[in-house]
C-alpha cells in the first residue's frame, strides 16, 4: 500500500484558539504540530482553574478510516501524553492506508477528557 503524503497540511484554527496540523513523517509515523497563543493559555487556565503547566495534556490520535468521530464510546483512538510547550510531537504506530486526525486536549486524572482543537483529516 502507498502512503498518502501531504507536503503542507492546512492547520485547523479556532477563532482566538490554538491551531493544530498533522502530516506524514514516514510510512509508520505522523508529525503533529500546534501553536497555543498566550491569550489561549490564559483562557485554558480560567476554564480549568489550574495553572497550565500543571494540566495533563494529550494528543488523542483518532483512526477515522471507517467512521467519523461520534464521541459514542466506539471511536478508535490512542492518547499520547505530551508536553504542550513542545511545538510538535511524533506519533508512532501509524498504519499505512488508514486515515487519521488528532486532537490536542486535556485528560484529567479521573479520565475526563476535554478537547481543545482537532486537526483536519489526513
Residue 6 lies in a domain: no
Percent of the chain with pLDDT over 90: 66
pTM equals: 0.81
Q: With respect to residue 62, please indicate whether it lies within any of the assigned structural domains.
A: yes
Specify the range with the lowest mean pLDDT, choosing from 34-48, 60-74, 104-118: 60-74
Tell me whether residue 53 is in a domain: yes
Residue 115 has pLDDT above 50, yes or no: yes
Structural domains of the chain, count: 1
Whole-number Å distance between alpha carbons of 64 and 122: 9
Q: Is the pLDDT of residue 25 over 60?
A: yes
6, 22 Cβ separation under 8 angstroms: no
What integer pLDDT is reported at residue 56 of this predicted model?
95
DSSP string, the chain: -PPP--SSPPPEE-TTS-EEEEEEEETTEEEEEEE--HHHHHHHHHHHTS-GGGS-EEEEEEE-SSS----SS--EEEEEE--TTSSEEEEE---TT--EEEEEEEE-TTS-EEEEEEPPP-
Q: Look at residue 81 and tell me if it is in a domain.
A: yes
Report if residue 1 sits inside a domain.
no
Examine residue 7 and state whether it is found in any structural domain, yes or no: no
For residue range 51-97, list pLDDT tens digits in order: 999 999 999 999 999 888 887 778 889 999 999 889 999 999 899 89
Any idea what the CATH number is for the domain that residue 63 is in? 2.60.40.10
In a domain, 88, yes or no: yes
Q: How confident is the model at residue 4 (pLDDT cuts 50, 70, 90)?
A: very low
Please check whether residue 8 lies inside any domain of the structure. Answer: no
Q: Which residues span the domain enclosing 66?
A: 13-118
Amino acid at each position: 500500500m502507498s502512503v498518502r503524503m501531504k507536503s503542507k497540511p492546512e492547520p485547523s484554527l479556532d477563532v482566538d484558539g490554538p491551531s493544530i496540523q498533522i502530516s506524514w513523517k514516514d510510512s509508520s509515523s505522523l508529525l503533529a504540530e500546534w501553536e497555543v497563543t498566550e491569550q489561549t493559555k490564559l483562557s485554558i487556565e480560567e476554564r480549568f482553574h489550574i495553572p497550565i503547566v500543571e494540566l495533563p495534556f494529550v494528543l488523542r490520535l483518532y483512526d477515522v478510516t471507517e467512521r467519523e468521530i461520534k464521541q459514542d464510546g466506539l471511536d478508535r483512538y490512542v492518547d499520547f501524553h505530551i508536553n504542550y510547550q513542545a511545538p510538535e510531537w511524533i506519533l508512532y504506530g501509524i498504519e499505512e492506508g488508514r486515515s487519521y486526525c488528532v486532537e490536542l486536549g486535556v485528560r484529567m486524572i479521573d479520565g475526563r477528557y476535554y478537547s481543545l482543537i482537532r486537526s483536519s483529516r489526513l
